Structure formats: structure tokens, C-alpha cells
Structure 1
Amino acid sequence: MELKHPLPPGRSYDQLLNHYNIEKALAEKLKNSDRETRRHIFASMYDELFSKVPDHPRLTQRSSDRVTAITNKVKASIIDRFIDKLSTYVEFAPGDCRFAIETAKKVNEVFGIDISDQRNPADIFPQNFKLIIYDGYSIPELKENTIDIVFSYQLIEHLHPEDTKLHFELVNKILKPGGRYVFQTPHALSGPYDISMFFSDEPEGFHLKEWKYSEIKSLVKETGYSSFQTRWSAGGFDFQLPYLYFFSCESLLRSFPKPRIKKVAKRLIPMLYGVAVK
């Protein structure tokens, strides 16, 4: 298969193709499964992926303090404006949980919610942190109306389209009135952003759906949030912009020739970044 992008540092063509084929096959199982079956797939899919793709970036990043620091700096630039020492904070899909360790210094209590434990056994975790492994649908360990801030970074694109509404409902349930769900996810018009980017023009791996602002706004309204704030972030800049800006960009880009859409979208809408307020 022809590469659509240069090889990433430290990975060969064969490694990349192996990653693509394995992730694509697992994604197809997810896409074609019912909700009950997905519970079981979710519980094991990352373990299976990591066992068959030992060069996966999530695994190699664990041994790279530099890469971890860069990623955590990006996350902090997003979430720090929303938290304080009194906050009860939830991070969905915290991965190795190293960002949660840093955030625990800035808030009252931290819960990490994930479908598998990806922590490094050598890491030491603070007393105000707890990792909860869940089935993707319910979190009985957390009571309703108890959380101030929920955060996810590049998570929503991994959810089955049928399950995304349930995810927003679940977050709404655990948030306090006035609590906020802060999330950032790849924008559909500039993707794909998963392993597919090297071989395809559409997301075929674990990015089961990449979203547009217009779609997310409808979903936020449908799942009972009181308001939806839209933000723009890139190159160290982060500020709120009216939804009309993003809606206009998405409408304008529909008239562009397909080869140009991705290039222009990356400049106008680098990522989908929103805050849903309960």
C-alpha cells in the first residue's frame, strides 16, 4: 500500500502496516457489534492491540519523558483554566495517568476513568487519585451530581457512534449543576487522525467517527446540557469563539474541492474543542 504521509520517526513501513491492519480489523469488529458485545470488546481491545503492536506509540511513549511532557503540557494548557484547589475532577481515557498525577497537585480529588489499566507499575500515585476501570457505559463508583470538571482529550472519536450519546448522558449525570465537560477531539474535515492517515482518506482504525462542530452541538443539546461553548486552540493560543465561526467554516468548506478541504480545515479549525455546561 502506498503511504500518504512520511514514516513517523522510529517506525518502519512494515510496523506501520501491521499496526494499521490489526487496528482496522479490531475496529471492524467494534463497528459491526451490538452494545452488549461491545462491552466485552472494549474490555480487551487495547490489550490485544498492544500485544500485537509492541511498537505502538502509547507503549513507547511510556519510556519517553520528553514526549510525555509535551503531551501533558498541551493538556494542561486546555484544562488549567477550568480547575482550582477545590475541584473534583474526572479525566476520561487518562492512558498512563501521568497527566492525572500532575493534575492531582492542582485539585481536591481526581478520578481517572478508562477501559483498561495502562499505567506504568513503577509510577507512584497520590492519595487523592483513583483509577476506575469501566465497561464504557456505567460508572457505579461515582454518584450523580458530584463532579465539578470532566475532561477528555482525543477520546470521543474512539467511541462507537451509537455510544457517543450515552457518553454525554453519563458525563451529564455525574456533573454537578453548572459543572463543565471540557473535551478536545480531531475535527472530521481535516482527518483522519488515527493510523489510517498513512493509508486512507477515511478513519478506519480506532477513530470510529471524527466529528464536526455542528454534529456535536446537536448532541450536546439533545443530552440535556444548558449551554455549549466553542473554543479555538493552536500554536499556544486558546480562546473562545462563537459557534457561528465554526458553523460558517464547516459550511464554506463543503464547497471546496475535496483535495483542498483537509489542508484549509487544518488552518481554520485545527481541532474540535468544546465545553458542555450542565
Structure 2
Amino acid sequence: MTDQKDSRTQEQLREHYEIEKDLASRLRNATSDERQHLYSALYDELYRRVSHHPRNTRRLSSKDNDRAVRGQMLFLRRFLRPESVFLEVGPGDCGLSFEVAKYVRKVYAVDVSAVATRNASCPDNVAIMTFDGINVPLPGESVDIAYSHQVMEHLHQDDAQAQLRSIYDALAPGGKYVCLTPNRLYGPSDISMYFDETPTGFHMKEYTNTDLSRLMLRSGFAKVKAYAGLKGRFAPAPNFVMASVEALLGILPHASRRAIAQFRPVANVLGIRLVATK
């Protein structure tokens, strides 16, 4: 996701947009077999060609990184136990995985790109792995808590259920998958937010809470619960309330819908924070 407070120049944003849009079109039009190799290759190419990409510059601000990790841990900490095995899909610079490692027995951090984790220095109980973007490279029923933050939207829609099923298989009975992803009602949330009304960059598909909950249930999960948050406090949001709010917003014109959905109190409710239980 691209931060709407992005400090880059208009020329840099345009350069990023044109390159990412071109690479993303290759992924959208690829076959299933081709995509298993393209996820890693195309993301590596993006980071290489766009030197000012946030993934390349974010490490320069440890304060921002620490703040982001603390924000995620406010919600995630409740699911962690000393004996837990934790899986993060798409760990980026591994800052969150390294923090989680303080609270659990073992952490696996799997990413399609080795570029994002190339400078990471691991705690002893963290294993960093690359994968094809779909198939989690861990034994079945070996994980207690799986987590992803801004990953689902990067999957080709034909691969989304396959990845969900792979995460489901890796989870132990009763295990949980905590999934955070932007809501399409306030999108697009990739670089195309500055230029288009629908995602045309590496956000292959953006979801609503309702959309993604249904997909998780079709992938085998026994139940899915949405959470809404405000100032670091989180509470379950009834499914019928979430579905009603999203349905009402969904019928509005794009500009009106996005303006309302981006209003902070509304965004705190709509922001997808799902917990799927096996």
C-alpha cells in the first residue's frame, strides 16, 4: 500500500506508477504456472527499478518502523503464547517478525522477495524463507498463528483461495489466521490511488470484509470474525453490521464512497482486520 502522505515528487510517483502498472499487467495476464515464478521476479524487478520505492527507503526511518510494529502488536499480542509457532506471510523487513519472536517459541517469515529481507539479521528463533507466493513451505498442522499485513490484495484473484488453503493446511487444529488488508471501498490503495479509480498496480484485487470473509469460509475455515479498532483498542464487529455498512457504501459513486470511507472513524471500522479460525 502507498501512504497517502507520500513525500515523493509527482515525477517520482508517476515513474513508480508507470513501472508498477506495466509489471502488474504481466502478472494479471500470466497463466497459473507462470505466476508461481513471476511473483518473486516482478517484485524484485520493481524494487530494483524504483530506487525511491518505500520498501527501499523505509529502513532509513527506524522511528517510523518502530511505530508501525507497535501498532500491529497492539492487536496481535493477544493471540501470542510462549509455546506458539508463528508464521508471517510477507514480512517485509521482518521488523514485526523479530518483535513477535520475543513472545513465542518459533517464527517463520516467508516472502516472495529476498530483496526485502536481504539485510535482516535474525534472532535465533526466526527462520526467513522465500516462497512462490501461494504455497506455504511448512509442514501441515505446524503453525499456531499465521499473520499477514497488506498481502492478500497483492495476490492474483485466481491464487487467493489457493494461498488461503495453504495457510489453512499449515495451521494446527484451532489455529488462527490474522489477516489485515485494505478495504476496496476506500481504495485503490496501491500506487494507482494517485491516478485511477480502481487498482492497476500490484494490488491484484482489493476486498471488503464481507468478500474476504466468504472466501475464507470457502477455503475451509470454521469461522471468521472481523474486528474494528480505535486508538489501539479493538472489538469484534458483528458480521451483519459490517455487511450492511459495506453494502450501503458500495452503491455510492466512487468519489463520495472514498471520501466517506477514508474518514478516520469510518476507516477504523472498515479496515479489514479478520481472524479466521481453523
Per the alignment, in what secondary structure is the counterpart of residue 164 of structure 1?
helix
Match 2:181 to one of 177, 185, 194: 185
Q: Give 1:126's aligned residue.
A: 123
Deviation at residue 161 of structure 1 after TM alignment: 0.3
1:24-57 residue CA offsets vs partner (Å, 9 max, x unmatched): 0011001111111112211211211011100011
CA contact (8 A) 1:7 1:13 kept: no
Deviation at 1:251, TM superposition (A): 1.6
Pick the aligned partner of 1:66 from 56, 63, 68: 63
Q: 1:87 touches 1:149 (CA, 8 Å); kept in 2?
A: yes
Q: Is 1:43 paired with 2:33?
A: no
Flag the 1:252–1:182 CA change in 2: closer, same or farther, 3 A: same
2:108 equivalent among 86, 107, 111: 111
CA contact (8 A) 2:75 2:232 kept: no
In the other structure, the counterpart of 1:8 is 6
8 Å Cα contact 2:40/2:132 also seen in 1: yes
Give % identity.
Answer: 33
CA deviation after TM superposition for structure 1 residue 6, in Å: 7.6
CA distance in 1, matches of 2:219, 2:270: 25
Asked if 1:23 corresponds to 2:20, the answer is yes
1:155: how far off? Answer: 0.5
Report if aligned partners of 1:62, 1:120 keep a CA contact under 8 Å in 2: no
Q: Provide TM-score, normalisation by structure 2.
A: 0.93
What are the equivalent positions in structure 2 for 1:100-249 lying under 5 Å apart?
A: 100-117=97-114, 118-121=116-119, 123-140=120-137, 142-249=138-245
Which residue of structure 2 aligns with residue 82 of structure 1? 79
Separation in 2 of the partners of 1:107 and 1:93? 19
Q: By how many angstroms is 1:120 displaced?
A: 4.7
Task: State the shift of 1:7 in Å.
Answer: 6.9
Offset at residue 85 of structure 1 (A): 0.9
Q: Secondary structure at the match of 2:113?
A: coil
Match of 1:55 among 48, 52, 55: 52
1:265 is the counterpart of 2:249: no
Which residue of structure 1 lines up, in the alignment, with residue 274 of structure 2? 274
- Please give the alpha-carbon distance, in whole angstroms, between the structure 2 residues aligned to 1:29 and 1:230: 33
Query: What SS does the corresponding residue of 1:94 show, helix, strand or coil?
Result: coil
Corresponding residue of 1:96: 93
Equivalent-residue separation in structure 2 for 1:112 and 1:75 (angstroms): 16
Cα distance, 1:12 vs structure 2: 1.3
TM (norm. structure 1) is: 0.93
Where 1:72 maps in the other structure, the secondary structure is: helix
3-state SS of paired residue (1:21): helix
What CA distance in whole angstroms lies between the structure 2 residues aligned with 1:43 and 1:261?
34
Q: Residue 220 of structure 2 aligns to a residue in which SS?
A: coil
Structure 1, gaps ≥5 residues long: none
Aligned residue pair count: 271
Which AA in structure 1 matches 2:161?
K
Q: Tell me which moved more, 131-140 or 80-89.
A: 131-140
Q: Which amino acid aligns with 2:21?
A: K
Root-mean-square deviation (Å): 1.6
